[in-house]
Amino acid sequence: MIDVVVVMKSVVYSVVIAIGAIGIAAIYGATKTFNFAHSSMVSWGGYIVFTMVCFYGGLPYMYFPLAFALSAALGLVTYFAVNRWLLKAKASDISLMMTTLGVDLILFAFINHFADFMIYNYKIPVAKNFVLEIKDPVFYAGGVPVRMSWIMAPILLAIVLVAIYAIFTKTKIGIAMRATIENPELAQLQGVNPELVYVASWVIGGGLAGLSGALLVMIFTGRPSIGLETVVTFFAGAIVGGGARDVFGAALGGFLVGLSELIIPSILAPVIGGWIYAYRAAIPLAIMAAMNLTEPGGLITLARKMRAKVVK
């Protein structure tokens, strides 16, 4: 039987991946850019929360909005400094993707410099290996310890999904984004301003990357490479759910992939041995490969096709 702590930690991790996958899908759907800088934006989100807790105290959750805002700013800088010019030049998808890898290396270097700065100037020795889980309040329900992250994670995902739905259905820029994601050529013919759509997608994508990083360091040890260690799972979630284009599909795919990554080894370990944990990272890749072979459009496209067959 799987321990309740493992299950709940897996749920929180699944929420992390779902939120980050939405950000990847938002950027790719609008700009056709696979944002490899997503990994460092995730790390920055965690470091923003850690820094604020170190200097100002309080619950880490107080600083989640700041993590979103500053990571959204990183998204804006990435767009205006790099992505915008390549889109204007009609660069290939590969060129768009590889430039974000360069941005990721720069952001990753800055994270390491920032961590070193905190170690040597502010005497915070754990800046490259910190644990915020100790700052997570624990409640007791029927004698069972319940961490606040177990409650906050589903609430956070619900807020993100409701906000995305409201933006995509109730605002002009959101409707323009949805039109661009579904049919870019038709959207431009109808007078949609692509510049606003691109800016909005990078704000959402960068912000959600930081938000997912803020929650991630509540369950795993924070370090500069934490985003890099999970980026494959983020991309797998976005691709499995909606072919990296559908934001709600990305949320579904991210949740399922994240849950599978932690739950499957926990189920198999008592049967075949603990060595299976070393191959945990292969699970998202296997799921992504299977989905691409079955239905490249992801679970959402697969569900639509199945529903169409039932209707007929």
The enclosing H or E element of 249 equals helix 247-272
Whether the predicted pLDDT of 311 surpasses 80: no
- Between 179 and 116, name the one with better pLDDT: 116
Chain centroid offset of residue 102 CA: 19
Residue 240, pLDDT score:
95
Task: Kindly state the percentage of the chain with pLDDT values over 70.
Answer: 99
DSSP 292: H
- Which range of 69-83, 182-196, 272-286 scores highest in mean pLDDT? It is 69-83
Bridge partners, residue 145, by sequence: 140
Whether the predicted pLDDT of 1 surpasses 60: no
> How many helices (H) and strands (E) are present in the chain, helices listed first?
13, 2
Backbone angles phi, psi at 13, to 5 degrees: -60, -40
Tell me the pLDDT tens digit for each residue of 49-107.
999 999 999 999 999 999 999 999 999 999 999 999 999 999 999 999 999 999 999 99
Mean pLDDT, all residues of the chain:
93
> What is the pLDDT confidence band of residue 242, given thresholds at 50, 70 and 90?
confident
Beta strand pairing status for 144-147 and 138-141?
Answer: antiparallel
Weakest-pLDDT range from 134-143, 227-236, 300-309: 300-309
With H, G, I as helix, E, B as strand and everything else as coil, classify residue 70. Answer: helix
Confirm if 207 and 67 have CB atoms less than 8 A apart: no
Whether the predicted pLDDT of 43 surpasses 80: yes
Q: Which two tokens stand for residue 235?
A: 């991309």
Residue 182, pLDDT score:
74
In the chain, how long is the greatest CA-to-CA distance? Answer: 68
Q: Which amino acid is at 274?
A: G
Residue 62, pLDDT score:
97
Residue 312, pLDDT score:
64
DSSP 61: G
